Amino acid sequence: MSPPTHWHVPANSKLSWRRWPDEDEYVFYHGATGDTHRLSELAGVIMEQALAGPVGTAALLQWLLEQGDATPEAPLDHVFASLSQLDFIEPIEEIEPGDAAG
């Protein structure tokens, strides 16, 4: 089974977040569960993008390469797995062309 090509934030998540200036982590509140989570900078950037709309895995891999990460697949897989466990994002089974970057 191939990894998902696109991800999105579930409609019932009710996520709120905050990042303070000069900090390299995010704090997210999951309104549907009442839980608060600290996320790494990478996970926070991914969530910012996912909250704006569907996120393409290929676009994120390209972005990580441009940031200087020579092997972005491993950290990206780890972040997607972690965010999925928290019910912050979920894979999109089918996506219409033009609905997401990447």
Element (H, E) at 83: helix 73-85
Q: What is the pLDDT of residue 69?
A: 84
- Per-residue pLDDT at 97 exceeds 90: no
Contact 42, 26 (CB under 8 A): no
Which segment of 18-27, 68-77, 79-88, 90-99 scores lowest on mean pLDDT?
Answer: 90-99
8: helix, strand or coil: strand
**Domain residue spans of the chain:** 6-90
Q: What is the pLDDT of residue 94?
A: 57
Question: 4-53 pLDDT, tens per residue?
Answer: 889 999 888 899 999 988 988 999 999 989 999 999 989 999 999 999 99
